[in-house]
Chains A and B, each alone.
Chain A
Amino acid sequence: DVKVTQSSRYLVKRTGEKVFLECVQDMDHENMFWYRQDPGLGLRLIYFSYDVKMKEKGDIPEGYSVSREKKERFSLILESASTNQTSMYLCASRQGTTTDTQYFGPGTRLTVL
């Protein structure tokens, strides 16, 4: 069974803290993605990566960075957390073609106080 795991289901941080969200997939997928999900806005793409050490900005990259040192792991970093980054963060992975299914992790509910 395919699996995408995220390091935490719930996280509470303070404004200004550096936050790391980890995502691991066991399907040897090339592409990995980070989204945030907010009510009424659906899913918005923050960053994606199509190979190790490669990254591309999505629609809302401001305030975030990413790291992909190994194929199976894709990290999202909030350099200095702010209250407007309180959200549900979803990681996903997909093999290379446009017809392939995207597999999602369970999500991390981040609250920034």
Chain B
Amino acid sequence: GDSVTQMEGPVTLSEEAFLTINCTYTATGYPSLFWYVQYPGEGLQLLLKATKADDKGSNKGFEATYRKETTSFHLEKGSVQVSDSAVYFCALIGGYQKVTFGTGTKLQVIP
């Protein structure tokens, strides 16, 4: 079945550092790929998405590119802020409309 693997956390960075959170996937066909963010005490909200190979999703300074050849969708941000501290989930929607989530990566940004 479909699966999503993302890097273990927690990730601790200083403010203005460069962020990469790795995400790889296994799926049949051509899934849509998503990054969701969960701030403390809240539900998940969509951060960005890409629906076909080579698409780049971007939002709030975050970017991720759908790489079919490496089955990856790594999340990047050039300069993180304290307000980016949250848990980040990589996800895909494959066949049968089912969403598969990674286990989440906690990011902590310190001033």
- A→B interface (CB under 8 Å): 4, 31, 33, 40-43, 45, 48, 50, 58, 90, 92, 94, 96, 98-99, 101-107
Contacts and interface: CB of A to CB of B under 8 A. Distances in A.
Nearest to B51: A99
Contacts, number: 54
Contact of A104 (B44, B94, B102): B44
B103 A42 contact: yes
B64 to A, nearest CB: 15
Contact of A105 (B32, B43, B101, B104): B43
Given A45-B98, A105-B43, A98 B103 contact: no
B89 interface: yes
B89 A107 contact: no
A58 B103 CA distance: 17
A81 to B, nearest CB: 22
Contact of B97 (A4, A31, A43, A105): A31
30 contacts: A4-B43, A40-B103, A42-B101, A42-B102, A42-B104, A43-B44, A43-B104, A45-B99, A50-B97, A58-B98, A90-B44, A92-B44, A94-B99, A98-B31, A98-B94, A98-B97, A99-B32, A99-B49, A99-B51, A99-B93, A101-B34, A102-B34, A102-B36, A102-B46, A102-B91, A104-B43, A104-B44, A105-B43, A106-B41, A106-B42
